[in-house]
């Protein structure tokens, strides 16, 4: 799998580079507190270096924060240790092969990741397997296909860095892909930024 290799290379500068694109992140933090309040067993997939992990930890029961890149997880684990977040564990884990039992999770949160995965449909099938019926999925996702400016910037980024958005989502195509994986999808909230971001909430259909 290429993803771990690419993101290991980006890990050291991730905190700095994400600050160029994080205009929508404060609003996502507010929304996730409402949409994931009091969920007990929660998995964060593609957590990066913990851009949302600590807000999640305050609102849920037990949080396992994971990423496919060992370098990202190493940095995340360092922050978890510094902040002594007692209900957070970290693990290296691929979205394509979650190390959890069928139907065992109350919620999955995965921010800004479906578009960088080579096969997001496969990740969504795996999220469906891991969630209990009625379990909640929250996937805020950058929309690299939202308009010509986003498509151009996406192309430019892929030329000057190892970063590639494999799927250039629009809000409609994101919603459709999540629905096709067996979820009842809420209308996404589209937040402005260099790349618009679709904040999408869905529940596993039984
Ligand atoms: C753009 S970063 C997002 C990090 C953080 N969630 C955020 O919102 O800033 C994308 C993350 O997805 C992870 N990733 C990419 N493919 C993955 C996969 N197949 N399984 C799990 N994580 C993956 C990368 O390692 C990287 O940390």
Q: Which of 5, 7, 21, 26 to mutate to test the pocket of ligand 1 (most atoms within 8 A of CB)?
A: 7
Q: Does domain 2-204 have CATH number 3.40.50.150?
A: yes
Span from the CA of 114 to the centroid of ligand 1 (angstroms): 8
pLDDT of residue 63: 97
- The rounded mean pLDDT for the chain is 95
Q: For 15-29, 85-99, 177-191, which range has the lowest pLDDT when averaged over its residues?
A: 15-29
pLDDT of residue 69: 96
Q: Which residues form ligand 1's pocket by a CB distance below 6 Å?
A: 3, 7, 18, 45-48, 51, 67-69, 72, 94-96, 111-113, 116-117
pLDDT of residue 199: 98
CA–CA separation, 152 and 129 (whole Å):
36
pLDDT of residue 1: 58
pTM recorded for the entire structure: 0.96
The DSSP line for the chain is: -HHHHHHHHHGGGHHHHHTTS-TTHHHHHHHHHHHTTT-SEEEESS-TTTTTHHHHHHHSSEEEEEES-HHHHHHHHHHHHHHT-TTEEEEE-BTTB-SS-TT-EEEEE--S-GGGSS-HHHHHHHHHHHEEEEEEEE--EE-TTSSHHHHHHHHHHHHHSS---SS---HHHHHHHHHHTTEEEPPPEEE-SSS-EEE-EEEE--
Look at ligand 1, atom 1, and give the residue with the nearest C-alpha: 112
Look at ligand 1, atom 11, and give the residue with the nearest C-alpha: 46
Mean pLDDT of 4-30: 91
Q: Which of 14, 67, 120, 143 to mutate to test the pocket of ligand 1 (most atoms within 8 A of CB)?
A: 67
pLDDT band at 182 (very low <50, low <70, confident <90, very high): very high
Closest ligand 1 atom to Cα of 67:
22
Domain ranges of the chain: 2-204
Mean pLDDT of 20-28: 92
């Amino acid at each position: 799998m290429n993803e771990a290799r690419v993101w290991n290379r980006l890990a050291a500068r991730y905190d700095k580079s994400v600050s160029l694109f994080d205009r929508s992140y404060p609003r996502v933090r507010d929304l996730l507190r409402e949409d994931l309040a009091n969920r007990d067993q929660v998995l964060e997939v593609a957590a990066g270096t913990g851009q949302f992990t600590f807000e999640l930890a305050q609102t849920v029961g037990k949080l396992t924060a994971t990423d496919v890149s060992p370098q990202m997880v190493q940095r995340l684990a360092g922050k978890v240790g510094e902040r002594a977040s007692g209900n957070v564990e970290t693990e290296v884990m691929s979205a394509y092969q979650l190390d959890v039992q069928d139907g065992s999770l109350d919620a999955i949160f995965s921010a800004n990741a479906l578009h960088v995965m080579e096969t997001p449909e496969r990740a969504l099938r795996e999220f469906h397997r891991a969630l209990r019926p009625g379990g909640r999925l929250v996937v805020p996702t950058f929309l690299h296909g939202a308009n010509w400016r986003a498509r151009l910037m996406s192309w430019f980024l892929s030329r000057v860095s190892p970063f590639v958005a494999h799927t250039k989502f629009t809000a409609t195509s994101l919603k459709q892909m999540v629905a096709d994986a067996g979820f009842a999808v809420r209308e996404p909230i589209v937040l402005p930024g260099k790349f618009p971001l679709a904040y999408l909430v869905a529940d596993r259909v039984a």
